[in-house]
Structure 1
Amino acid sequence: MSEQVKQPAINRELLEDFLDAIWLEQGLSENTLSAYRTDINKFADFIAPKALLVIDQLDVQSYLAYRQDNGFKSRSTARTISALKRFYQYFVREKRLEITPMAHIGQPKASQNLPKTLSEEEVESLLASPNVEEPMGLRDKAMLEVLYASGLRVSELVGLRMEQVNLRQAVVFVKGKGNKERLVPLGEEAMYWLELFISKGRLALIKHATDFVFPSKRGTGMTRQTFWHRIKHYALVADIQSDLSPHTMRHAFATHLINHGADLRVVQMMLGHSDLSTTQIYTHVANERLKSIHQEHHPRA
């Protein structure tokens, strides 16, 4: 694409017609409209001096190949394709085009961002960090143990009510995203610390009636942000250098289960994923770990 080649004047009119129409029909935000304008203009620059309504599928494919060759991210290209699809669908609907050149253009495969997780040794160090001689430390120990044993989201953990915990059956009843309900088992270690906290530590933190399993130091429900700060504090105590996120323990739960041979669908159920493909990313994490172990220890790696 030559930088000296200019778009034909008709392109500006076409673009404004399109943006006005979708703004009136769908009330899209200024940010979305601006993104559409930018993406379509970049494509129009590439195909210049052709006008936007006289291109064909080959022009689109050439532009996508250009983006790939120049290292554009797949997410950015996916957004561009969506913008162009809507643009050409609009002019087909307005009978200014017979067919859209985007008809057989698919979305690029998004690169998978593997979730950051902790090794089993790092998890053990993290779990050993709270001072269980104090009520808050005992609470934090129980929370970390339950989190690692169950794979709950942090929001699900801090929102747990006493009625959701069945100590006799060693399960927690969780209402997750989209109000989807699931029963999640707890292991012996998590049950031990949970029972110990409920019987000995919880009463010391409660200042007025509450049914939250894990009250804050004010005696009320804890926020996600507060617990996240507690995790970061214990990571420092344990000298964990890995980057953490609020879902680090959830990722560790799933990855370590799969590392030890757990069935993917069982892990899916415990995590509360509606789609198995969401859970499959943990098999990639496990595979990456196996590769690194092989490279580190095999004499011919």
Structure 2
Amino acid sequence: MDTAIKNSKAMVAGYAEWLEGRYARATARSYQLYVRNFFKYLKYWHRKIKDIKEVTPEIIAKYVTFIQASSKKNGIVASRLRFFAVKNFLEWLGTNDFIDTNPLEKVKAPKRDCGGYKGDILVEKEIWALLDAPAKKEKISARDKAILELLFWTAMTSHELVNLKVEDVDLGEFCVYVKRKGGKIKGRPMERAYRPMWRYGLYRGDFINSDKLPWFFLSRKGMKMDEATITRLIQKYAKKVGINEHVTVRMIRNSRAIHVGLYGASEEYVQEFVKQRNRKNGKFRRHR
């Protein structure tokens, strides 16, 4: 059998045929679904992998971390089901000599107690729901969407955000400039926050005192926003989309860092997002 990633449909079909009669119908359907999701993960996050034979234990370990994070709402049971479905699939490939070794053989299944993720990050579905929550086409919604998008895509702190001035925003260069400790100014790409920032820029002139105050984000009453207001704003939209946890700016930043870190970014790149170092060794503390 051709084990190229692009031939994933044929591999899943062969696996489904093998499952038939060996497992309950519902279990077989679930296993097929989880294996298809595994291929989607490889295609999206490991695009250099062209053949299932190229999958390494390191990639599998990242996948395990990924399913632990993305299955937070359904719990550890869902994570373990996904793990064993992929393990079973790889064992089937090995039994039929389609692959030489099973990269999942020595990787441990998700632990039954993986509470480190609960409450620390938002899964991707929650992040996108939160970012899309300010839906109305008016100045306050435009401002709030720009704030949420900027917090996520640049990993700014609430202090940095409320002190952002008009002159710090360069829409032409798709960049915002943040003053760090010691007065050092650092440019950060807006990434996907660019369009919401541009849209809010069109509305900013409608805010009271917009021509007098230098701050980029203004309150409804035409004043500088404070950090407590940002916290309330996040809570308002989190509640709107059904997120019951107390969502904070730090949680949004950690979510971005975790999702980037899971998908192959270096430690240094992840640290740029959260600036969170272990006091002893200076390494980013991943939640395990």
* TM-score, length of structure 2 as denominator length: 0.54
Contact 2:130 2:238 in 1 (8 A): yes
> How does 1:272-287 map onto structure 2 within 5 Å?
280-281=284-285, 284-285=286-287
One-letter identity of the residue aligned with 2:245: S
Matching residue of 1:240: 243
The Cα offsets for residues 169-228 of structure 1, whole Å up to 9 and x where unpaired, read as 2111111345443221111x21011001102x2111233511211111111210000111
One-letter identity of the residue aligned with 2:170: N
Match of 2:190 among 183, 186, 194: 186
The secondary structure found in structure 1 opposite 2:221 is coil
The secondary structure found in structure 2 opposite 1:247 is helix
The 1:273/1:247 distance shift into structure 2, 3 A limit, reads: closer
Contact 1:212 1:221 in 2 (8 A): yes
The secondary structure found in structure 2 opposite 1:183 is strand
Gaps of 5+ in 2: 1-115
The 1:180/1:270 distance shift into structure 2, 3 A limit, reads: farther
Residue 160 (str. 1) matches residue 160 (str. 2)? no
The Cα offsets for residues 42-81 of structure 1, whole Å up to 9 and x where unpaired, read as xxxxxxxxxxxxxxxxxxxxxxxxxxxxxxxxxxxxxxxx
Matching residue of 1:122: 126
> How does 1:74-85 map onto structure 2 within 5 Å?
none
The Cα offsets for residues 212-248 of structure 1, whole Å up to 9 and x where unpaired, read as 1111111121000011101001011010023323322
Residue 206 (str. 1) matches residue 208 (str. 2)? yes
> How does 1:1-301 map onto structure 2 within 5 Å?
116-187=120-191, 189-199=192-202, 201-207=203-209, 208-271=211-274, 280-281=284-285, 284-285=286-287, 288=288
* TM-score, length of structure 1 as denominator length: 0.52
CA radius of gyration, larger in: 1
**Number of equivalences:** 170
Gaps of 5+ in 1: 1-112, 289-301
One-letter identity of the residue aligned with 1:214: F
Contact 1:175 1:181 in 2 (8 A): yes
Contact 1:176 1:272 in 2 (8 A): no
The 2-side partners of 1:266 and 1:192 are apart by 24
The Cα offsets for residues 107-142 of structure 1, whole Å up to 9 and x where unpaired, read as xxxxxx877111111011111111331211110001
Percent of pairs identical after alignment?
28
The 1-side partners of 2:142 and 2:264 are apart by 31
The alpha-carbon deviation at position 158 of structure 1 amounts to: 1.4
The alpha-carbon deviation at position 275 of structure 1 amounts to: 7.7
One-letter identity of the residue aligned with 1:206: I
The 1:250/1:134 distance shift into structure 2, 3 A limit, reads: same
The 1-side partners of 2:271 and 2:194 are apart by 22
The 1:236/1:154 distance shift into structure 2, 3 A limit, reads: same
Contact 1:171 1:186 in 2 (8 A): yes
Contact 1:117 1:251 in 2 (8 A): yes
Cα RMSD (Å) of the superposition? 2.4
The secondary structure found in structure 1 opposite 2:187 is strand
The secondary structure found in structure 2 opposite 1:256 is helix
Contact 1:174 1:184 in 2 (8 A): yes
The alpha-carbon deviation at position 270 of structure 1 amounts to: 4.5
The 1:159/1:132 distance shift into structure 2, 3 A limit, reads: farther
